[in-house]
Amino acid sequence: MFFAAYFIYASAVAAIRPIVPEMAVLVITLNVGLLLWFFVFSWGDRFRPDSYLGRIRDWFPIPLILLAYREMGWMYVPQPSQAFEYRWIRLDHVLLYNWGMKAAIESLGPVIPGVLEIAYLLVYAVPAIGVASLYLSGKRERVDDYYSVMLFAVLTSYAMYPWFPSEPPRSVFWGIDLPAYESGLRRLNLLLVGNYGIHTSVFPSGHAAAAFGSALALIRFLPERKWVGRRQMILAVLIAVATVYGRYHYAIDTLAGIALAIVGWLLTRLWRSQVTSSRTA
């Protein structure tokens, strides 16, 4: 359902956005094909939900997240100004310097910066870790509940990109506020975001949305193993700090991504409470 809504929305954006016509045709054609595939796949899975099709369905959202991200990159339009970035950098400077965030992180030399770069790199595995945690706990039936929080946060953040055109601080404010320590891990992260990142927007942070969405979902839907959700929350916090300290995102991007994860978690709780009330009525 989340992907169907997202790809319909992306097609509508491609149709009205001033991008290359061939790219708009590509996005719309691809998404129509995906919607047909969703329908056929769901129809087949309905009759045998415990078959191999059901297990494939549990995992195929993970590559589709990457596709959803890339589609927004295809709809990049050169931005007329950098008004967003010049407003957002003010909060970063308050956190990094006035509140001492940068000094605290670098107080132990390269140790904490290294941990943050590892956490930032692990964000790409967060959805897979979340689904694997449910499988290993014998709670496969809760995978859809997990996705209801995580996908809401991630896909909503991607859907907002066309309306907040922006570039990351490391690009707009080149050479300013950068970490004091370089490392192979940082160079790897920069290589990944440089080669596979998009230029449509950085607001909200999809990294923060995915990390916190996954953590909140595991805390909510895997209460039997509280340590799993707590471990994911620790990772999410490290990722959030890394996005700002490493200049991958502005602080406002990260806060917005966290907010979307919380909204997804609250909406899921509200929906489940209404379902429970209707059944007992």
Picking from 127, 124, 126, 100, the residue whose alpha carbon sits closest to that of residue 245 is: 100
Rg (CA), the chain: 20
- The count of domains in the chain is 1
Q: Is residue 218 part of a domain?
A: yes
Residue 241 within a domain: yes
**Parent domain of 184:** 81-280
Structure tokens at 36: 């047909």
Structure tokens at 279: 């059944």
Written as six digits, the tokens of 214 are: 């996954």
Regions of the chain where pLDDT drops below 70: 41-51, 272-281
Q: What is the pLDDT of residues 84-110, one digit of tens each?
A: 999 999 999 999 999 999 999 999 999
**Which residue, among 193, 212, 194, 199, has the nearest Cα to 255 in the 3D structure?**
212
Tell whether 233 is covered by a domain: yes
- Return d(Cα 110, Cα 77) in angstroms, integer: 38
Give the CA dihedral 192, 194, 195, 198, nearest 10 degrees.
Answer: 110
Q: Are 222 and 228 in contact (CB under 8 A)?
A: yes
The pLDDT, as a whole number, for residue 20 is 87
Q: Quote the pLDDT of residue 46.
A: 64
- Report yes or no on 181 lying in a domain: yes
7 within a domain of the structure (yes/no): no
Q: Does residue 65 lie in a domain region?
A: no
Q: What are phi and psi of 204, to 5 degrees?
A: -80, 175
This prediction has a pTM of 0.91
In a domain, 102, yes or no: yes
Residue 34 resides in a domain: no
